[in-house]
Structure 1
Amino acid sequence: MKAVVIEQFGGPEVLQYKEVPTPQPGHQEVLIKVEKTSVNYADIKNRTGKKAKGDFPIILGLDLVGTIDQLGEGVTDLTVGQRVIAFPKTGSYAEYAVASEQLTFPIPDEISLDVAAASPIVAFLSYKLLKDVGRIEAGETVLVHSAAGGVGTTAVQMAKLLGASHVFGTVGSREKFRVAYEAGADHVFTYDDFSDNILELTDGMGVDIILDSMSGKVSEASMSCLAEYGRLVHFGNSSSEVGHFKTNELHNSCRSVLGFSLGNTRKKRPELLKEAAEHVIPFLARGDLDIVIGAEFPLHEVAEAHRLIEQRQHTGKILLTV
């Protein structure tokens, strides 16, 4: 099969489009013929060695849409030919990928190919962050950092679906305001001035939930506009900076700082994603979530997709056609 592999860490130039052996499914696994996949910021970290280990060759890619081609031993709830989204274990920048039965989810025909390719990471993650980790309640307010990106635009919509009364967003430049507003954000700011503006708009109360994938100074500034009993959910480190919190910022105000990793959950507690799928897939089928797609590339041009994300020029999800 054709796949994109890396045999060393480095820039986009290390991505090689080449012929490799087709993987085979093991116990309670399926082989999926990949139709489309997406590029996530974690792929950049894996390519550069900031996240992945050096067990080369490596096929990148965290999610996919395709059809089941082969069942491994012990698979009981899936069938050959079924249309699915999945989080594969062998990497999705390839014509075929292997995924655990637990991390493979059938989807109805109502979900288009592009939406299905763009949605697994961003939709499942947004639901888990808000519903399970952030424990959102109807009428609460939410701040979504990086609100013009794939996760951000989806999280803004998910917050409204789950009952948020008001959703704020932050972006890296004013040119991205439009994308966040179109996703449903009520107010959008740059990272430079969000905290003071939110306090002014909330009469000094702050917001109930903050979704933070930035870290560093953005995380620190977030504490000043987090309401009493509020929850800051930290799920990424795209700034590559370290943020610091003081213990006296938490106990007296009953505020919480919480962490979540979808990647770690897929590896160690995959069963937790079943409940998310039961809600997310109907949202997608009904069109309740409008997954924002910023660009699409053929698989052999994946290096260009990586450059676009690294330069912070993209909005929404970046897709790869396999």
Structure 2
Amino acid sequence: MKAYVIETAGGPEVLQLREIDARRPNADEVRIRVRAFGLNRAELYRRSGRMGPITGQVVPGIEAVGEVLEDPSGTFHAGQRVATATGGMQVNRPGSYAEEVTVLRSNVVDLDGTTLGWEELASLPLSYLTVWGALGRLIDTAPKLTVLVRGASAAVGQAAVAYAKARGQTVLATTRSLENTARLKAIGADAVIIDSGSVAEQVRAAAPQGVDVALDVVGAGTVLDTARSVSAFGTTVVIGLMSGMPVLEQLDLARDLPNAVRLAFFSSSMLGSAALPLDGAPLRWMADRQASGATASLRVQTFAFGDVPRAHRLMESNGAQGKLVVLM
């Protein structure tokens, strides 16, 4: 099968399209024909060596949609439409930049019956599963909450806006560019705040008691300011690495965090784990909402399989205000 491989850390030029052997699935795995996949900053970090040294041949990619080729357990049948995300892809198993991918069964989500096309489906898995993992237990069944999405113009930030709105919540979104305002309102933001580095005062003007839940897509550089936007007994969840590694130096819990505001970090590596099984993930629900027009698409551009290095250059330049996908 054809796959992109990385044998040394570097820029987009180190992505080499090669012919490699497909992996047959073990008892706990599923082999999938990849029809499309989304692009993520984690793949830039893997390629550049920021996630650790490149030893041997690495196939990047942490999500895909496609059709089941083989499942030794019989849980999924041949030809079944599915999505997959993380579960060690590109870290301790080959990733999804390939014509086929063999993944843990626990990281496969059934999408049979969806009418959305492959390139649109490819924009959904990692973004919506991450948002669901980070926010689902906080907002899925709690009515009339106010949710802040800090860094909402990123693809996962847009997914958070759309997901929170689909759950019936009031959504405040931040962006550094006024140009993104119309886009964020179109996908569900009730109000958009221009982020000049500090947003707590503006958020408190819109929600005087503070927001109930905040999702910080930026990371350590903004999280304390984000937390100051949250009401007592509210929660701030960090998922972003855009401002660097999630490290806070000399955190003073009494002075730096508002009283009774909870702070958490969510990693997509939890997806499919015993703590977060994917059988309850609302991915098909979001796919159906998008197919019906109830939720806007996250996708902004589609690339051919041969154009992955060019797509990486665009992603690295921060020129994509939404999800980039590759259609096989």
- Whether the TM-score (by the shorter chain) exceeds 0.5 is yes
Per the alignment, residue 62 of structure 2 pairs with 62
- Distance in 2, matches of 1:53 and 1:136, equals 42
TM-score, length basis structure 1: 0.90
- Distance in 1, matches of 2:53 and 2:253, equals 34
Question: Helix, strand or coil for the counterpart of 1:33?
Answer: strand
In structure 1, the gaps of 5 or more residues are none
Letter matched to residue 242 of structure 2 = S
Question: Helix, strand or coil for the counterpart of 1:294?
Answer: strand
- Distance in 2, matches of 1:210 and 1:102, equals 28
In the alignment, is residue 185 of structure 1 matched against residue 195 of structure 2? no
- Distance in 1, matches of 2:108 and 2:98, equals 17
**Equivalent residue for 1:174, pick from 171, 174, 178:** 178
CA separation of 1:168/1:68 partners in 2, compared to 1, >3 Å: closer, same or farther? same
In the alignment, is residue 152 of structure 1 matched against residue 150 of structure 2? no
Per the alignment, residue 301 of structure 1 pairs with 307
- Distance in 2, matches of 1:232 and 1:134, equals 12
CA separation of 1:174/1:273 partners in 2, compared to 1, >3 Å: closer, same or farther? same
Per the alignment, residue 92 of structure 1 pairs with 96
Letter matched to residue 209 of structure 1 = V
Q: Is the 8 A contact 2:5 2:59 kept in 1?
A: yes
TM-score, length basis structure 2: 0.89
Per the alignment, residue 282 of structure 1 pairs with 285
Q: Is the 8 A contact 1:292 1:316 kept in 2?
A: yes
- Matched length: 315
Q: Is the 8 A contact 1:215 1:243 kept in 2?
A: no
- Distance in 2, matches of 1:134 and 1:298, equals 37
CA drift at 1:80: 1.0
Counterparts of 1:1-322 in structure 2 under 5 Å?
1-72=1-72, 75-87=73-85, 89=89, 90-107=94-111, 108-132=113-137, 137-164=142-169, 166-192=170-196, 193-203=198-208, 205-240=209-244, 242-243=247-248, 245-249=251-255, 253-266=259-272, 268-269=273-274, 272-276=277-281, 279-287=282-290, 288-322=294-328
4+ residue segments displaced more than 6 Å: none
CA separation of 1:271/1:223 partners in 2, compared to 1, >3 Å: closer, same or farther? closer
Question: Helix, strand or coil for the counterpart of 2:61?
Answer: coil
- Distance in 1, matches of 2:270 and 2:45, equals 15
CA separation of 1:46/1:163 partners in 2, compared to 1, >3 Å: closer, same or farther? same
Deviates more, 1:308-317 or 1:251-260: 251-260
CA drift at 1:296: 1.1
Q: Is the 8 A contact 1:103 1:270 kept in 2?
A: no
Deviates more, 1:294-303 or 1:81-90: 81-90
- Distance in 2, matches of 1:134 and 1:248, equals 27
Question: Helix, strand or coil for the counterpart of 1:318?
Answer: strand
Q: Percent identity?
A: 26
- Distance in 1, matches of 2:213 and 2:26, equals 41
Q: Is the 8 A contact 1:296 1:319 kept in 2?
A: yes
CA drift at 1:249: 4.8
Letter matched to residue 79 of structure 1 = H
Comparing both structures, which one devotes a greater share of its residues to helix? 1
Question: Helix, strand or coil for the counterpart of 1:197?
Answer: helix
- Distance in 1, matches of 2:31 and 2:200, equals 47
CA drift at 1:286: 3.8
Q: Is the 8 A contact 1:102 1:271 kept in 2?
A: no
Q: Is the 8 A contact 2:3 2:97 kept in 1?
A: yes
CA drift at 1:37: 0.5
CA drift at 1:236: 2.2
Output one character per residue of 1:136-163: Cα deviation in whole Å (capped at 9) or x when no partner.
7211111112212211111111112223
CA separation of 1:99/1:212 partners in 2, compared to 1, >3 Å: closer, same or farther? same
Q: Is the 8 A contact 2:109 2:278 kept in 1?
A: no
Letter matched to residue 223 of structure 2 = S
Letter matched to residue 261 of structure 2 = R
Deviates more, 1:82-91 or 1:308-317: 82-91
Q: Is the 8 A contact 1:142 1:159 kept in 2?
A: yes
Q: Is the 8 A contact 2:37 2:326 kept in 1?
A: yes
In structure 2, the gaps of 5 or more residues are none
Output one character per residue of 1:50-81: Cα deviation in whole Å (capped at 9) or x when no partner.
12452321111111111111233xx1311111
CA drift at 1:264: 3.8
Output one character per residue of 1:187-241: Cα deviation in whole Å (capped at 9) or x when no partner.
21232152221111223x2211111121233112112211111100011211116
